[in-house]
Structure 1
C-alpha cells in the first residue's frame, strides 16, 4: 500500500505545478514619451511582464526595494517573471521622475 502512495502523491504535486504554471499570464508595460504605461491592476506570482521601451532614450525599470533592475535600451524589450507578493514601487534610474507601482497578489 505504501509503495502506491508515493507515486500518487508525486503525480498530484506534478499536476498542481502544471496547473499553476498554466495559469500564469503575460502583461506588457510600454515606456513611451518618457512615461511608464499603466501596470495591470492585479498581478500574481508567476506572471510575466514584458517591458517595452518605445522611446529613443535608454530607460530602466528599477525596483526601489532592489528586487529587480531591468535595463531597456531604446526600442528594446525585456521579460521579467514576478517572484514575490507585495507592492513594489519602481522608477527609471536615468529619469527618476518616471515612476510606477506593481501590486502583486499570491
Structure 2
C-alpha cells in the first residue's frame, strides 16, 4: 500500500458509517372535534399525516398560509414539511379545533 493512502481509506470509512437522518412520519388525529396532540414538533422533511376519525369533514388550515389540507370523513391526508417555523392551525369548518405545529430545521 502506498504511503498516505491509509488515512484516505480511514476517512472514507468514517464518512460511509455516518448515516443521514431519515425523515419521520408524525401522525395527528382528529376525533370528537379535537386535534390530538394539540402541539407537535417535527423537522423539515418529515411528513405529517392527519387522520380524520370523525364522521364529518375537517381541515388543517395554517393561519400563516403554509398549508391547507382537507380531510374527508374517515380519511387521512399527508403533507411534507418544507420550511422551519411555528404554524398555528385550525379546522375551517370547526374553528374551535386548534393546534400548533413546530417545525425545526
TM bin (shorter chain): 0.7 to 0.9
RMSD in angstroms over aligned alpha carbons?
1.7
- Could you state the TM-score of these two structures normalised by the residue count of structure 1? 0.77
Q: What runs of 5+ residues in structure 1 fail to find an aligned partner?
A: 1-14
Task: Count the aligned residue pairs.
Answer: 88
Structure richer in helix, relative to its length: 1
1:67 aligned residue: 66
- Equivalent runs, 1:36-75 vs 2, <5 Å: 36-38=35-37, 41-75=40-74
- Could you state the TM-score of these two structures normalised by the residue count of structure 2? 0.78
Q: Is the 8 A contact 1:59 1:93 kept in 2?
A: yes
Q: 1:26, 1:101 → 2: CA distance?
A: 16
Secondary structure of 2:56's aligned partner: coil
Q: What runs of 5+ residues in structure 2 fail to find an aligned partner?
A: 1-15
